[in-house]
Amino acid sequence: AVADIADMENQLLAYHIQVATAAAEREEFSQHCTSLQQAVVVAQAETDSHRKKLLAVQMDLHQAKAKCSVAEGKVETLTKAKVDAMGKLDAAKLTIGRWQASAESAKEKQHKLEVEVASLRNKRAADAKKLAQTVDQLTHHAATSMEKAVAQSTVDHATKVMSMQDQIDKAKRTAEDTTALLHRRNKALEAKLKQANDRVAILESQLRPLSHLTKRAKALEAVHSDNKRLQLELMAVHRQVAGKKAKSKPSHDYMDEQPSIVLSNNQFQHQHSPQTSEGVDTLQCELTRYAQVLLMSNRADEAGAFFEASMAQCPHHLDDAFVLRDHDECVNTLAHYAFFVEHHRHNWVQAKRVYERILANHPTHPHALGNYAMLVHKMNSATKAHETNNAVVHHAYNVAIREFPAHGSVLCKYAGLLVHENNVALAETYYTQAASTSPTSPDMYNVSPLEAERMYQTAHSLAPSNTNATYNLAKVLLLHMESPSYDINRSATDTSQVEVV
């Protein structure tokens, strides 16, 4: 702003000089005009001779007037510029005054801030002194508390060591008692194993003439096929007779005679069946038992042949329309065969169909009830059809538990399903029931660690920063891995079945 003012003053000075020059020129032109007028008066006589000179002088006069007018315009312009410059100068002076006032205000604020900083420094020094005193007091108190805590911890540790020693002694006594009990059980199992081996030897000696029985079975199968063919022919004859009677009698007579026709078919099937003899029933039972012995000896391939031979001994086994309510041997054979098909041939659909046929005739069959519930559970988990089959699984488990409340495997499997569905309260009830009614069930020791592992994994995923959940998960995994029955390929949510016989 000061530089602008200086420039404007210089311009104003230049304008003054130009105005003075124009005024001097004007005075000079005025004097010249006066001399010319005098010359005109003197030279009026010579006007004619000097006309041309007069015209030239007049032209010069006009030019001088024009220059004077221009000079006057410039003077007016310079005057206006001077006024504008004076206005700008006043505005600049006002701006400079405001700046000076702001500078003074800033100096006052700076002085106040310096005073506050000095007071804060003094206060900080006082606080630091107080803090040092407090730290010294807390250090002394902490040292005293640490000494007391160490003394108390030493006493508690000694007490815990004594308690743990008592527990260890008690555990040793329990282990010794358990070892003695297991030794006695091993002796009993060895005796039973010897008896089983003797039984196997007897069965093998009884099954040596198997070729003769196989021929007989084939002959019986041929007779069975002939019986089926004759039955179909008889049914066709009945239908023809019924059709003829329907033409000659009202339709209600034909409907009244249908039950007698069905009864005749059942009587025909029962009378012409070649498997009603007691010897054949005994043979199929022996074949089934020997097949079970082979299964327990891990000879599933050989057991399959004997299961098929046992199934072929009776045509009722493959006839889904036949009623099995009075044929307990056939029902037991079908139950063992369904278990074999499910676990060794992995044909769940066929096993499910056989179980359903057994339960339709014997709703409380112990083998079929539990195995059917666990099979439906396994199929439901494999197909992920929870919306459609979940009710079927729960119904099957409820029926099995209602009929056999001490079935440890079924109780544990159903409790595992309930835990998987987050129904922990009801699952705990069934686990407690299994522990009280079937404490020796292997599922009590196989399922619970897996469920605990799954629960801790859920807790760890919901709260990864929770050290208790992480520690408990690591602990249960370590204990689970140290177990002799640990399977690294089995997850905590595995719901595979165990063998139920």
Question: Between the ranges 262-266, 473-477, 497-501, where is the mean pLDDT highest?
Answer: 473-477
Q: Residue 159: CA atoms inside 13 Å, Cβ hemisphere, count?
A: 6
Phi and psi of 484, rounded to 5°? -65, -25
Q: Is residue 59 part of a domain?
A: yes
Per mean pLDDT, which range of 165-174, 217-226, 351-360, 370-379 is the poorest? 217-226
Q: Is residue 57 part of a domain?
A: yes
- Which tokens belong to 275? 């498997």
Asked if 378 and 355 count as a contact pair (C-beta separation under 8 A), the reply is no
> From CA 479, how far away is CA 500, in angstroms rounded?
27
Q: Look at residue 76 and give its three-state secondary structure.
A: helix
Report whether 414 contacts 373 (CB < 8 A): yes
Lowest mean pLDDT among 58-72, 99-113, 377-391: 377-391
Please state the pTM of the whole predicted model.
Answer: 0.35
Tell me, yes or no, whether 479 lies in a domain. Answer: no
Q: How does DSSP assign 171-233, residue by residue?
A: HHHHHHHHHHHHHHHHHHHHHHHHHHHHHHHHHHHHTTTHHHHHHHHHHHHHHHHHHHHHHHH
Torsion of CA 301, 303, 304, 310, to 10 degrees: 160
Number of compact structural domains in the chain: 1
Residue 154 lies in a domain: no
Find the mean pLDDT for residues 355-382.
81
- The answer on pLDDT for 267 being more than 60 is no
Distances (CA, A) of 422 to 101, 374, 426, 427: 77, 19, 9, 9
Q: What is the pLDDT of residues 103-161, one digit of tens each?
A: 899 899 989 999 999 999 999 899 889 988 988 888 888 888 888 888 888 888 888 88
pLDDT digits 0-9 by tens, 237-254: 667 667 766 665 443 333
Residue 41 lies in a domain: yes
Residue 217 has a pLDDT of 65
- Confidence class of residue 230 from pLDDT cuts 50, 70 and 90? low
pLDDT per residue over 275-297, tens digit each? 444 444 566 667 777 777 777 77
Query: What contacts 371, CB < 8 A, 6 or more positions away?
Result: 335, 338, 339, 342, 355, 497, 500
Residue 74 lies in a domain: yes
- Distance, in Å, from the CA atom of 158 to the CA atom of 164, rounded to the nearest integer, reads 10
Dihedral sign, Cα of residue 384, residue 385, residue 391, residue 393: negative
As a whole-number percent, the residues of the chain with pLDDT over 70 amount to 69
For residue 256, what pLDDT band results from cuts at 50, 70 and 90?
very low
Angle at 114 between CA 111 and CA 119, to 5 degrees: 130
The per-residue pLDDT for 442 is 65
Domain range holding 62? 2-123
Q: Quick check: is 404 in a domain?
A: no
468 occurs within a structural domain: no
Please report how many Cα atoms fall inside a 13 Å half-sphere around the Cα of residue 157, on the Cβ side.
6
